[in-house]
């Protein structure tokens, strides 16, 4: 039998006890209930410690309708392991403090069948937080369907533009299916000397306002569902969006999915936050954005 992936960041990045975590997630989801862009076909959600971004992530997760969802694809960037393609988990189950999530081995076999996916090691899987930080929220919003849905975790490497397009084309058929939802794991600008990124445009006023203007420029291109524009933006501003490759894969999947089958998709950001407000050059912050992609009839 295949191994399970333990909840390796529980207790440090988020509550390790099931009932505490449950209460925390419930509160954030209820606080976010004013956001309405559902049912989501895809969401963008941050992946920092919950004390920083849990409230923001809720705005994205509250757009998922558990009644329609059978498969949850999770695309997260690789932070510690250099990878030029996409990789799948060697495990069959992801453990969370709420309940365990089952990996869809059938979809995994289809993806392996394309010849474009490799297998990550268990240690790479457990070191990476970008996918794990989405799991408790997935378990929580899908609670009513516990045991009746599967997950498809995909670790996205440092892809070039051609690869982003290719993976988008592979995943488009899954995005076409209203019983699937994609969770795209990404934070936005990592600003400060410790991130080697200190771009500041004084016309916006204080540093944190310049950071927000920069992030919103990128968010606008995502809302426009414009992979080429997003690519040019990253080349021009080098914004340190850690999930830029998963986001670009999603944008390319949308482009393919909309081609020729009358599907109209619309993306909207619902929340934006910064871990702190940078005012001087020695400050640092990470930005978080939550958004949802829906199909328009």
Kindly state the tokens that stand for 199. 């771009």
Cα distance between residue 227 and residue 252, in whole Å: 6
Kindly state the tokens that stand for 116. 């474009």
Q: How much of the chain, in percent, has pLDDT values that exceed 70?
A: 100
Report all structural domains of the chain as residue ranges with CATH numbers, in order of start: 4-296 (3.40.830.10)
How confident is the model over 93-142, as pLDDT tens digits? 999 999 999 999 999 999 999 999 999 999 999 999 999 999 999 999 99
Q: How much of the chain, in percent, has pLDDT values that exceed 90?
A: 97
Per-residue pLDDT for 273 more than 90? yes
Radius of gyration of the chain (CA): 18
How confident is the model over 68-100, as pLDDT tens digits? 999 999 999 999 899 999 999 999 999 999 999
pLDDT band at 261 (very low <50, low <70, confident <90, very high): confident
Cα distance between residue 15 and residue 140, in whole Å: 13
pLDDT band at 1 (very low <50, low <70, confident <90, very high): confident
pLDDT band at 45 (very low <50, low <70, confident <90, very high): very high
pLDDT, residue 262, reads 77
Q: Which helix (H) or strand (E) holds 118?
A: strand 117-119
Average predicted confidence (pLDDT) for the chain: 97
Cα distance between residue 86 and residue 73, in whole Å: 13
Cα distance between residue 56 and residue 43, in whole Å: 12
pLDDT, residue 113, reads 98
CA distances from 117 to 12, 20, 107, 206 (A): 31, 37, 12, 44
Check the CA dihedral 14-289-270-295 and report its sign.
negative
Cα distance between residue 271 and residue 45, in whole Å: 10
pTM over 0.85: yes
pLDDT, residue 233, reads 98
How confident is the model over 52-64, as pLDDT tens digits? 999 999 999 999 9
Strands 86-88 and 190-191: unpaired
pLDDT, residue 259, reads 87
The set of residues, in sequence order, having a beta carbon less than 8 Å from that of 220 and lying 6+ positions away, is: none
Stretch 3-26: mean pLDDT, rounded? 96
Question: In this structure, what is the dihedral angle of CA atoms 74, 80, 82, 87, given to the nearest 10 degrees?
Answer: -30
- Tell me if 49 sits within 8 A of 13, measured CB to CB: yes
């Amino acid at each position: 039998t295949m191994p399970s992936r333990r909840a390796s960041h529980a207790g440090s990045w988020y509550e390790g006890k099931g009932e505490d975590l449950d209460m925390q997630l419930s509160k954030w989801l209820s606080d976010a209930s004013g956001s309405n862009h559902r049912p989501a076909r895809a969401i963008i959600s941050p992946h920092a410690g919950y004390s920083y971004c849990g409230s923001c992530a809720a705005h994205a997760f509250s757009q998922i309708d558990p009644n329609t969802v059978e498969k949850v694809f999770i695309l997260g960037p690789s932070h510690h392991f250099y990878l030029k393609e996409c990789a799948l988990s060697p495990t069959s189950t992801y453990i969370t403090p709420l309940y365990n999530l089952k990996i869809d081995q059938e979809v995994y076999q289809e993806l392996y069948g394309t010849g474009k996916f490799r297998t990550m090691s268990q240690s790479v899987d457990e070191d990476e937080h970008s996918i794990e930080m989405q799991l408790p929220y997935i378990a929580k919003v899908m609670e009513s369907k516990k045991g009746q849905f599967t997950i498809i975790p995909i670790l996205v490497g440092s892809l070039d533009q051609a690869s982003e397009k290719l993976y988008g084309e592979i995943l488009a058929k899954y995005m076409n299916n209203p019983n699937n939802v994609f969770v795209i794991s990404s934070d936005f600008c990592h600003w400060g000397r410790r991130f080697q990124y200190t771009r500041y445009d004084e016309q916006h006023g204080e540093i944190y306002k310049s950071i927000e203007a920069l992030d919103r420029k990128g968010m606008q291109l995502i809302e426009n569902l414009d992979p080429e524009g997003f690519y040019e933006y990253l080349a021009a501003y080098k914004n340190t969006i850690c999930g830029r490759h998963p986001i670009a894969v999603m944008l390319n999947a949308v482009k393919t999915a909309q081609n020729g089958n009358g599907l109209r998709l619309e993306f909207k950001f619902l929340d934006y936050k910064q871990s702190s407000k940078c005012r001087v050059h020695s400050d640092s912050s990470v930005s978080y954005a939550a958004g949802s992609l829906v199909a328009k009839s």
